[in-house]
Amino acid sequence: MASCDLISRQAFPSAELVRAHPPKLKHPHKKAVFALAAPEGAEHRGTLEFSRWCAAKLPELLPVETRTRIEARETSFEYAQVDEAICRAWHLNFADMNLFGFYGGALFAQDEMQVAEHPALASLREALPKFGHKPLTVEDNQPTPVLVADVERRCKVATERNVEEGRPAGLYGNAFAAAPIEVVKKAVKLIEPPTRSNLIAMEAPSYGRGAYTAVQLEYVLRTAFTGFAAARQESARLNRGSAMEVVVHTGFWGCGAFGGNRIVMTILQILAARLAGLDRIVVHTLDAQGSASFERARELLEGTIDKQDSCETARALSRVEALRLEWGVSDGN
332, part of any domain: no
Rounded Cα distance, 232 and 8, in Å: 17
* C-beta of residue 30 within 8 angstroms of C-beta of residue 104: yes
This prediction's pTM: 0.96
- Looking at the domain assignment, is residue 333 inside a domain? no
Residue 34 phi/psi, 5° resolution?
-65, -35
Count the neighbouring beta carbons within 10 Å of the beta carbon of residue 173.
22
Q: pLDDT tens, 147-162?
A: 999 999 999 999 999 9
What's the confidence (pLDDT) of residue 1? 61
d(CA 231, CA 202): 12
Residue 67, pLDDT score: 83
Q: What is the pLDDT of residues 106-124, one digit of tens each?
A: 999 999 999 999 999 999 9
Mean pLDDT score, 297-312: 80
Residue 232 lies in a domain: yes
Share of the chain above pLDDT 90, in %: 88
pLDDT digits 0-9 by tens, 244-274: 899 999 999 999 989 999 999 999 999 999 9
Q: Is residue 331 part of a domain?
A: no
In the predicted model, what is the mean pLDDT of residues 300-305?
Answer: 86
**CATH code at position 111:** 3.40.220.10
Q: Using CA atoms, how far apart are residues 50 and 271, in angstroms rounded to an integer?
A: 26
Q: Is the distance from CB of 246 to CB of 69 less than 8 angstroms?
A: no
Contact 103/30 with Cβ under 8 angstroms? Answer: yes
- 330, part of any domain: no
Q: Is residue 71 part of a domain?
A: yes
Per-residue pLDDT at 96: 95
Give the number of domains in the chain.
Answer: 1
pLDDT at 66 exceeding the cut of 80: no
What is the span of the domain harbouring residue 115? 6-322
- Mean pLDDT of the 204-223 span: 96
Q: Which residues of 260-294 are buried (b: 16+ CB within 10 A; e: fewer)?
A: bbbbbbbbbbbbbbbbbbbbbbbbbbbeeebeebb
- Per-residue pLDDT for 308 more than 80? no
Residue 1 counted as domain residue = no
* SS3 of the chain: CCCCCEEEEEEEEHHHHHHHCCCCCCCHHHHHHHHHHCCCCCCCCCEEEEEEECCCCCCCECCCCCCCEEEEECCCCCCCCCCCCCEEEEEEEEECCECCCCCCCCCECHHHHHHHHCCHHHHHHHHHHHHCCCCECEECCEECCEEEEEEEEEEEECCCCECCCCECCCCCECHHHHCCHHHHHHCEEEEEEEEEEEEEEEECCCCCCCECCHHHHHHHHHHHHHHHHHHHHHHHHHCCCCCCEEEEEECCCCCCCCCCCHHHHHHHHHHHHHHHCCCEEEEECCCHHHHHHHHHHHHHHHHHHHCCCCCEHHHHHHHHHHCCCECCCCCCC
